[in-house]
Amino acid sequence: MMTESKANSTVSEKVESRGKSMATNQLVELIRMRRSIRRMTGERLPDEDLELILDAARYAPSPENMQMWRYVVIRDDQEMKRIIADISQEAARYVFGNFPYEATQGRLWYLPDASRPSIYEDIRDGSLFRYPEKADAVIVCCASETWHDSTAMYPNELCGSVVVAMGVLNMWLVAHSMGYACAYQVVPFVDKRHVEFICDKIGIPRTWTPIAAFCIGIPEKPRMLGPSRWPLEGSFYAERWGIPYQRLAFRNQKAKKSKQKPKTKRKKRKVQR
Ligand SMILES: Cc1cc2nc3c(=O)[nH]c(=O)nc-3n(C[C@H](O)[C@H](O)[C@H](O)COP(=O)(O)O)c2cc1C
């Protein structure tokens, strides 16, 4: 069982020990409370806060530590942010434009009934995806399937975007812990014509592929609710594909039942005649 001192240990003490600590609890809470926040005010973050966030990306793992990620931080070029916002809206309208309202109801369950139609409309006309223009930093995240810094020339195709994603999540969690809004936008990089255009505009060479615009800014308001996740057994199997992982809470139900004291038989009352 976890002792109180262990539960309160700091991060550096934690690496010396095993098991759950205060740092674990805080980290788990951060992970659970992280949300995509797409409404940003357009204000700037303090430079040192942004740098702390960017720095977290460096610590992500990569195959043989090749660090095949590059991030273009667009902060001052408002025109470029607007171009990315325009492309995002156009691409999102193409994706969501003919989504029937009914199809969104399950996904948007967490929104109050009154605001659901207008948010749905923002999704359909793509305006919800204009947020890069209100972000302080629009980080164009680039992956490479060809860039190697290792003697082992194994195929990178499963690694390029994975390492970028790991870096992004590091940044996202640090930014979230500081109360900043983040959202991850792939829609401007779906259509090859948009990719070419953006690469030309910001000088990304052919060996690198932009995969997302990760946006960081000041939130209009905090966001608590969002799409829910499946329970563990919805995503994890036990030992073999298709056998649902069983949560601790539901394990050994039979064993528990059999351990329960057998009910004492009621003595039959003697019926007086
Ligand atoms: C690979 C990937 C692509 C995504 N594409 C977009 C996108 O283009 N625009 C956007 O606003 N959010 C995008 N998202 C964010 C998801 O919509 C969001 O994470 C998901 O709905 C869960 O919501 P949450 O982040 O609030 O928990 C993307 C996320 C991932 C991992």
Give the pLDDT of residue 1.
42
Residue nearest to atom 31 of ligand 1 (CA): 184
Distance between start and end Cα atoms, the chain = 60
CATH code of 38-221, in short, is 3.40.109.10
Does the CB atom of residue 38 touch ligand 1 within 6 A?
yes
Does the CB atom of residue 127 touch ligand 1 within 6 A?
no
Integer Cα distance of 194 and 91 in angstroms: 9
* CA neighbor of 62 nearest in space, from 156, 142, 139, 172: 156
Does the CB atom of residue 22 touch ligand 1 within 6 A?
no
Quick one: which atom of ligand 1 is closest to the CA of 188? 8
Report helix, strand or coil for 239: coil
CB atoms within 10 A of CB 208: 20
Does the CB atom of residue 134 touch ligand 1 within 6 A?
no
Cα 80 to Cα 138, 191, 203: the distances in Å are 9, 18, 12
Specify the residue for token string 């070029």.
Answer: 77
Give the pLDDT of residue 43.
98
Q: What pLDDT tens digit does each residue of the chain (273 aa) get?
A: 445 555 566 667 666 778 989 999 999 999 999 999 999 999 999 999 999 999 999 999 998 888 999 999 999 999 999 999 999 999 999 988 887 777 766 777 788 888 888 888 899 999 999 999 999 999 999 998 777 777 766 666 678 889 999 999 999 999 999 999 999 999 999 999 999 999 999 999 998 999 999 999 999 988 878 888 899 999 999 999 999 999 999 987 766 666 666 666 666 666 555
The predicted model scores a pTM of 0.88
Mode of pairing for the β-strands spanning 69-74 and 137-143? antiparallel
Integer Cα distance of 147 and 202 in angstroms: 19
Contact criterion met (CB below 8 Å) for 138 and 215: yes
Give the pLDDT of residue 158.
73
- For a substitution probing ligand 1, which of 31, 36, 171 has the most ligand atoms within 8 Å of its CB? 36
> What is the token pair recorded at 116?
């659901």
Integer Cα distance of 155 and 17 in angstroms: 37
Residue nearest to atom 10 of ligand 1 (CA): 185
Contact criterion met (CB below 8 Å) for 22 and 10: yes
* CA neighbor of 4 nearest in space, from 16, 22, 18, 17: 22
List CB contacts of 99: < 8 A, sequence separation 6 or more: 123, 124
Give the pLDDT of residue 190.
94
